[in-house]
């Protein structure tokens, strides 16, 4: 029997739940040379800010035994260039719903970028990254406190018509309180988790490996943390979750969905294996057959 891999995110129907995570797939154009992107459920495009950003100084990548640390620093061409060039180019090679990932350093910047991207036909979901430093509050990330995460959520919802998912940082004491604050402020969904904070030291040179000293730790090592946080938020909130963090196999997708995710993003694994998302999608029916699953949507939040 043909397995049903489709899922629904706030009225947006996806053929399957597998989505390349923002920052690990660029704007899709390069990956279209590797395989047919239309096998994907959706794509979360590279994080976009109001102004073009070169990013942090190099080196800004450090390998780890079960993952990687990055401090790329939101390198992107800016919202206007993304709308004028990147989205039209992506539409030529990808014909399914697109998730636009928006970052900002002030509430006004989040509002401006989200209002602009909301008007783009190609974009069906807006993903708001609240892990950026709030320049008006001493550099503390918006997503580290319920009040500031809720403030961004409310501001963005005022200027948008499409579903808004808030992407949450795991570098907090209580992710549930932040997710609840976003839900109460009007978020249509949440994405979790973003990268953890990590560091590597070059012991021969006695200095940090990356120029920024610390960066976002991602990869297979953080998967159990991501599953735990998805489960906790799913038990406490009533909005859909896109789960991410260390996903590297079809079994991981099923586990993440059983914890409460309605869809799943694949991040660092794309950098290790460019075919990761395609292979996971191809393997899902066999895993479903083995586990007696007919429809993936039936297992969302199966673990209570």
d(Cα 301, Cα 224) in Å, to the nearest integer? 16
CA dihedral 103, 189, 117, 144 (to 10 degrees): -20
User: Quick one: which of 209, 216, 172 has its CA closest to 190?
Assistant: 172
d(Cα 22, Cα 18) in Å, to the nearest integer? 13
Count of H-run helices and E-run strands, the chain: 9, 16
d(Cα 255, Cα 253) in Å, to the nearest integer? 5
Whether the CB-CB separation of 182 and 166 falls below 8 Å is answered with yes
User: Quick check: is 132 catalytic?
Assistant: yes
Distances (CA, A) of 104 to 179, 278, 301: 19, 31, 32
59 upstream amide cis, omega within 30 of 0:
yes
Specify the DSSP element, H or E, that contains 281: helix 276-291
Q: What is the DSSP letter of 133?
A: B
Catalytic annotation, pick one of 113, 132, 244, 277:
132
3-state secondary structure of 69: strand
* Six token digits for residue 239: 């909005």
Annotated catalytic sites, by residue?
132
């Amino acid at each position: 029997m043909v397995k049903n891999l489709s899922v629904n995110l706030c009225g947006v129907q996806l053929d399957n739940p597998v989505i390349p995570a923002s920052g690990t797939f660029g704007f899709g154009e390069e990956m279209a040379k590797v395989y047919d992107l239309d096998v994907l459920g959706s794509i979360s495009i590279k994080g976009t800010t109001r102004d073009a950003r070169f990013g942090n100084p190099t080196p800004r990548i450090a390998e780890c035994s079960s993952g990687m640390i990055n401090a790329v620093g939101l390198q992107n061409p800016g919202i206007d260039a993304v709308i004028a060039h990147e989205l039209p180019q992506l539409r030529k090679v990808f014909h399914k719903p697109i998730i636009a990932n928006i970052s900002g350093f002030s509430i006004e910047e989040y509002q401006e970028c989200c209002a602009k991207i909301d008007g783009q036909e190609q974009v069906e979901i807006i993903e708001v990254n609240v892990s950026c430093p709030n320049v008006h509050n001493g550099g503390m990330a918006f997503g580290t406190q319920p009040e500031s995460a809720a403030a961004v959520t409310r501001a963005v919802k005022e200027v948008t018509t499409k579903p808004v998912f808030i992407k949450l940082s795991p570098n907090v004491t209580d992710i549930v309180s932040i997710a609840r604050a976003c839900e109460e402020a009007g978020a249509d969904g949440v994405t979790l988790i973003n990268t953890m904070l990590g560091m590597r030291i070059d012991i021969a040179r006695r200095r940090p490996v990356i120029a920024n000293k610390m960066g976002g730790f991602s990869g297979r090592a953080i998967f159990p943390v991501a599953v735990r946080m998805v489960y906790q938020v799913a038990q406490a909130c009533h909005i859909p979750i896109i789960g991410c963090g260390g996903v590297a196999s079809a079994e991981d997708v099923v586990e993440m969905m059983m914890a409460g995710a309605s869809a799943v993003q694949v991040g660092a694994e794309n950098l290790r294996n460019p075919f990761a998302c395609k292979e996971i999608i191809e393997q899902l029916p066999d895993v479903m057959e083995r586990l007696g699953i007919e429809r993936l949507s039936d297992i969302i939040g199966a673990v209570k």
